[in-house]
């Protein structure tokens, strides 16, 4: 009679009177050992399907309890293990290259997907054409203590405590737990529970009572609720600090008990002179020398602050130089609109005019820049270049002092339409000789004909000066 292979390991079951009983039995014992061991099976490169059929009565890698699939895949590969009547437990590893999953199937029933590099324990129900493959550890219950090097959890973790047993020299394990009365609890290593996060009615939501008490929040911190609040230190403590840019300062925000005014300042108590005080009438006052960046508004309108300022000096406030001077101030009537008060500068040689300015005390005594406003009566489209130099004269100082370096702005082309308004580009920085507060500053404006090519007279209408202030007023 012939041996049969109807068992789950596909080893021979010799018939009575089989003359080859000894050899068959020896082979069967070897295959039983193979079934309890480790095997590898290669999948054809980039195959979408693969069959692992355990051979009857002969060695076969797919018979192994731990089965590793190798090969290279470019898409998910479905592996069908046969025959579909075989019932057994296997541990299967997806060791294929290409970062693709494999799907373990036996029949038309359920199957199990194993991600790239992952290992799963499955069992085959051997139900024939409708056979299913089941993930054996879906509902695994690990009662007692389980130690892992790295744990990745997807989904919901339930139970009382997830405990890490590393570094227990101080006596207690770091743990994460949950109870119905306290919510989520994180416990730091140590006998005094260095870190505790609770959700209960009688304790802080987050508490770091001992050890390193520094908390770093990388991005935004939001405190929300119907009555949000922040408490730093106990009420009345004088050593509470807020750190700005690495420098610890005694800092307070509170109410002045005498008037219920909101005060903000540096110092150990609210009674210290505040840097900012907002009284009950909502008036805001700032201590002298307070510094701000950005913009301030009051009543919806912008508050003027120290910075770039301008002064316009018309040609009517200027006078020609005695030597190499421009034409005298002229009043020119046009056919419409305004009459011009202007100084004409020739095209044939450099000509000059002067004017004076007394800067406000809030001027920072730094460099200035300028723009020239001018026109041409003719239609030539050539460029005009204007230069400016200056010097300041203080009380008891000699007025007979040289100007600073002349700075010529980029030449500007005229439009070619007679009497068109032309505004030159802002010049580079003009250094004022002997610049100081409470001085009279003399300016010399000139047409630099070596830097322009306008054939007609350039009519100067005025100069706009740009200067910088560094104080709120001239006090």
Domain boundaries, the chain: 21-135, 161-207, 241-291, 308-468
Distance of alpha carbon 326 from alpha carbon 461, whole angstroms? 13
Q: Contact, 311 vs 464, CB < 8 A? A: yes
**Do the bridges between strand 261-266 and strand 276-278 make them parallel or antiparallel, or are there none, so unpaired?**
antiparallel
CATH class name, domain 308-468: mainly beta
Task: List Cβ neighbours of 168 (8 Å cut-off, separation of 6 or more).
Answer: 189
Q: How far is CA 191 from the centre of its chain?
A: 39
> H/E/C letters for each residue in 70-86?
ECECCCCEEEEEECCCC
pLDDT at 436: 94
Task: Quote the pLDDT of residue 171.
Answer: 46
Q: Give me the pLDDT at residue 294, please.
A: 63
185-242, pLDDT tens digit by residue? 666 655 555 555 555 555 556 666 555 556 777 777 777 777 776 766 555 444 455 5
Instruction: Please give the pLDDT value at position 197.
Output: 54
SS3 category, 25: helix
Q: For 142-155, what is each residue's pLDDT tens digit?
A: 887 877 776 666 55
Q: What is the DSSP letter of 304?
A: P
Among 100, 105, 95, 108, which residue's Cα sits nearest to residue 134? 105
Q: Is the pTM of this model over 0.75?
A: no
DSSP for 74-128? SS-EEEEEE-TT--EEEEEEE--BSS--EEEESSSS--EEE-TT-EEEEEE---G
Q: Is the dihedral of CA 356, 361, 362, 364 positive or negative?
A: positive
pLDDT for position 156: 53
Name 41's Cβ contacts closer than 8 Å, sequence gap at least 6: 52, 61, 62, 67, 68, 69, 70
Q: Which residues of the chain have pLDDT under 70?
A: 1, 6-8, 12, 15-24, 150-214, 229, 231-295, 299
Name residues whose C-beta falls within 8 Å of residue 245's C-beta, 6 or more positions apart in sequence.
Answer: none
* pLDDT, position 237: 47
Q: Give the whole-angstrom CA distance, residue 300 versus residue 302.
A: 7
Confidence at residue 28, expressed as pLDDT on a 0 to 100 scale: 72
The pLDDT score that the predictor gives to residue 23 is 65
């Amino acid at each position: 009679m012939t041996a049969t292979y109807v068992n789950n390991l596909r080893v021979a079951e010799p018939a009575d009177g089989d003359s080859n009983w000894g050899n068959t039995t020896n082979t069967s014992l070897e295959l039983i050992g193979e079934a309890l061991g480790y095997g590898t099976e290669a999948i054809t490169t980039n195959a979408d399907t693969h069959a692992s059929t355990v051979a009857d009565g002969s060695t076969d890698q797919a018979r192994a309890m731990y089965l590793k699939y190798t090969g290279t895949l470019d898409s998910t590969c479905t592996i069908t293990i046969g025959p579909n009547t075989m019932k057994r437990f296997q541990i299967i590893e997806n060791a294929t290259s290409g970062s693709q999953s494999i799907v373990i199937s036996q029949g038309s029933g359920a199957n199990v997907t194993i991600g790239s590099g992952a290992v799963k324990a499955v069992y085959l129900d051997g139900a024939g054409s409708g056979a299913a493959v089941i993930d054996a550890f879906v509902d695994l219950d690990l009662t007692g203590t389980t130690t892992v090097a790295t744990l990745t959890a997807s989904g919901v973790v339930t139970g009382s405590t997830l405990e890490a047993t590393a570094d227990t020299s101080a006596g207690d394990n770091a743990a994460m737990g949950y109870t119905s009365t306290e919510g989520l609890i994180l416990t730091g290593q140590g006998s005094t529970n260095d870190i505790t996060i609770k959700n209960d009615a009688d304790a802080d939501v987050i508490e770091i009572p001992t050890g390193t008490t520094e908390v770093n929040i990388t991005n935004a911190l939001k405190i929300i609720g119907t009555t949000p609040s922040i408490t730093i230190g106990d009420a009345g403590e004088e050593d509470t600090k807020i750190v700005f840019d690495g420098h610890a300062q005694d800092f307070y925000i509170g109410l002045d008990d005498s008037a219920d005014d909101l005060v903000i300042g540096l110092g150990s108590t609210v009674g210290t002179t505040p840097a900012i005080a907002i009284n009950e009438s909502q008036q805001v006052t700032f201590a002298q020398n307070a510094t701000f960046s950005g913009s301030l508004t009051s009543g919806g309108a912008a508050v003027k602050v120290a910075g770039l300022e301008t002064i316009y000096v018309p040609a009517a406030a200027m006078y020609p130089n005695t030597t190499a001077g421009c034409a005298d101030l002229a009043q020119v009537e046009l056919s419409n609109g305004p009459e011009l008060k202007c100084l004409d500068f020739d095209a044939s040689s450099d000509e000059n005019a002067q004017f004076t300015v007394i800067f406000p005390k809030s001027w920072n005594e730094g460099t200035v820049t300028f723009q020239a406003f001018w026109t041409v009566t003719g239609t030539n489209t050539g460029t005009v270049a204007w230069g400016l130099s200056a010097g300041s004269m203080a009380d008891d100082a000699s007025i007979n002092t040289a100007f600073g370096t002349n700075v010529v702005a980029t030449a500007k082309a005229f439009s070619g339409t007679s009497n068109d308004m032309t505004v030159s580009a802002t010049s580079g920085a003009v250094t004022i000789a002997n610049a100081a507060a409470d001085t009279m500053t003399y300016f010399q404006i000139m047409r630099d004909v070596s830097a322009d090519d306008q054939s007609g007279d350039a009519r100067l209408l005025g100069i706009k000066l740009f200067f910088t202030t560094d104080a709120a007023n001239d006090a």
